[in-house]
Chain A
Amino acid sequence: MPTTRRAIRESSPLHWGIRTMGVAAIAFIAIYLASTAKPSTLGNITEACTLAIAAVGLNLLFGFNGQISIGHSTFAGLAAFTAGYTVNAWEWNPYVSLVVGLILCFLLGLALGLPALRLKGPYLALVTLAVAFVWPTIAAKFLDQKVKASTLKGTKLEPLSWTGLSVKGKDARLDKAIFLYWAAIVILVVSYVIVRNLRKSRIGRALVAVRDNETAAAVMGVNLKLTKTVTFGISAAIAGASGWITAARLATMDETTFTILSSIKYLLALFLGGAATLVGPIVGAFAYFFVDDYLKEHAPEWDWLPGPLSKGPVASFLLGVLVIAFVFVAPFGIVGFVKDQVRKVFVIAPRPLRPAPSTAEQAMPTTEEPRPADQGPETQGRVDT
């Protein structure tokens, strides 16, 4: 280790200062955008947030617990359809529908977590893929039977009165966009905090232990069944929250709103940002969404592209190529890449361990685990907020 690298002590005033400034900068950008941006920009950010929420949920399951799921679009779809149906047909309060949707997603997640106990790796991937494949046919059936139409209306979420945003009038469109924007950000932050706190707690250590070696985790006393199914449930519920935002954002939904392609998008966002890091899925979702958006808008106009590439679905092709190229540049995602670069300048040194008891009589099992100096890609995001 070169001595020129600065070490920042974890939880030292400097470390806290950097973290506070990072959070403040993000909060400032969020407020600045809300007060200046156009409704379409806000809508884009809201959509990126829904992607980020789902990716955060998937990260808990795949990144930290090692269970891959290509079926998370189903949970988003279930919550979105629950909200759309209960609000429109039964005139429920949208927030009640959110809670009910989350509970349903949690239960479905638990149910899907049960076969996941027996299935490993690619088998689980393919079973969840099958679930995502089946969802549109069930959704279409539901629309046929219950709504008697090919689409389901969104929840038409209106700004709450205490926010001071207008429901009617000339600013209604902008104000609604602002409200949705904040709703999405609040849900994103809440999901992030849930996953972060889980990860940093005893449960999080159990999750990672199960991911790294199930047998060893079981031997150490981790309840495999409970851990894996409940993780699946929580992850599903977070994906459901993303679906609820989608239901509030869209005027109408149909069976094609949540397909396997959405699930693949969640996975890509997670991988591009950095799986098994806390902020990775959020960074990845925003990067993926805005690169995709930029390419869709501008790529068809690029004249310098050779022959056949100058027309047709060029944006989608370039995105695929970019994704492949990106993997070679940053195999552990954006966060992994940034951390590698930052580590060249300074390192975050762990807190010193509690001093050991002086005599043998006082020796108690220490509750604080020693933190390995270099946890590789698993290192928690501390400076990158």
Chain B
Amino acid sequence: MGHLLQYILNGLSKGSIYALIALGLVVIYRGTAHLNFAQGEMALFATFGAWWINDHGVPLWISIALAAIFAFVGGGVIEFGLIRPAGKKSPFAVIVVTIGLFQAMNSLSGLLFENAGTGLPFGSLFPNKPDDFWRISGSTVWRYQNIGVLVTVLVITGLLFALFQKTKIGLAMRMVANNPDSAKLSGVSVSRILMLSWALSAAIGAVGGGLVAGVNTNVNLATMFGVFLLASAAATLGGLDSPLGAIVGGLSLGVVESLVQNYPKDWPASDYIGADTAVAVAFLIILVVLLVKPAGLFGSSRVERV
């Protein structure tokens, strides 16, 4: 059991990245009830942007911030130019547009940035030398990188919650999420809020992409795919319309993944459960949770009027 804390700490930092991307999904879902399949690839594009800015001599943190601003604008433009008009066409149109965006964004990254397929070197965001850790007890250590990722995510989450709960814009966003028609009647510009949701979500994704690339010290075309899938699982687990759910879902998914990856090594079933099937086990747990609570842990279940 000596390693339990270690595995949990590692899992928390991994899970915090899932939580951040999941938060981006939730912000969009609350507004429009659409799943953004391109969330990961939009973040990937922004991360390549951060790499490009960094390549021109700008410090890494500032480049990620600039990329997030760029993503903020880009997300708004995508909502205004593609998603909104598509939504008026047919119910399937938005799904198709986000799938098309998924493909277009990924290959655009490949087109604009040379050697994007094999990977571009990305600096580490936090001190990450072999002895950069905080010893908790015995062999259990908390690496500065893991602390840094977790703290960054928590800070961003805190800012978002402050935005949702303490500002007028946040109030309008919650109104739109709760009941768009009433929000419109109360004078909230629903379309502007939706645009803001997409912009915000893209910016969150850009930061998430930067964190992933910083941990991997590399960014390539496949970087965000797996992260996006796990983040979407985290959002499902937490409830697609609950920001708190995204955080809890992401962190717990990270911890479960880390535990399943490391623990069953000595079990008789280790031939079947191990590092490579950790994701499968995590998904199985999610499925069981969803069977009990179909709208996720914190999601609001809609009552159907007959």
Contact = CB atoms under 8 A, between A and B. Distances in A.
Interface string B138-150: 0000000000000
B155 interface: no
Interface string A323-338: 1100110011000000
B96 A268 contact: yes
A134 B282 CA distance: 10
Interface string B287-306: 10011001110000000101
A129 B290 contact: no
Contacts of A145: 271
Contacts of A134: 279-280, 283
A331 B93 contact: yes
Nearest to A126: B236
Most buried by A among B107, B280, B294: B107
B240 interface: yes
Contact of B100 (A130, A219, A320): A320
Given A141-B277, A312-B111, A327-B93, A125 B272 contact: no
A324 B104 contact: yes
A120 B82 CA distance: 25
Q: On chain A, which size bracket covers the interface?
A: 35 or more
Given A134-B280, A311-B111, A323 B99 contact: yes
Interface stretch (B58-66, B84-92, B190-198, B201-209): B84-92
A264 B236 CA distance: 19
B96 A215 contact: no
A17 interface: no
A137 interface: yes
Contacts of B106: 316, 320
B121 interface: no
A327 B240 contact: no
A324 B101 contact: yes
B286 interface: yes
Interface stretch (B1-9, B47-55, B165-173, B227-235): B227-235
B148 to A, nearest CB: 28
Interface of A: 115, 118-123, 125-127, 129-131, 133-134, 137-138, 140-141, 145, 215, 219, 260, 264, 267-268, 271-272, 275, 308-309, 311-314, 316-317, 319-324, 327-328, 331-332, 377
Given A312-B111, A324-B97, 17 more contacts: A118-B290, A123-B290, A125-B35, A127-B236, A134-B280, A264-B99, A312-B107, A317-B107, A317-B108, A317-B111, A320-B100, A320-B104, A320-B107, A321-B104, A324-B101, A327-B100, A331-B89
11 contacts: A126-B35, A127-B236, A127-B287, A130-B229, A140-B276, A271-B92, A314-B107, A316-B107, A320-B104, A322-B100, A331-B90
Q: Which 5 A-B pairs have the closest CB atoms?
A: A320-B104, A320-B103, A331-B89, A323-B100, A317-B107
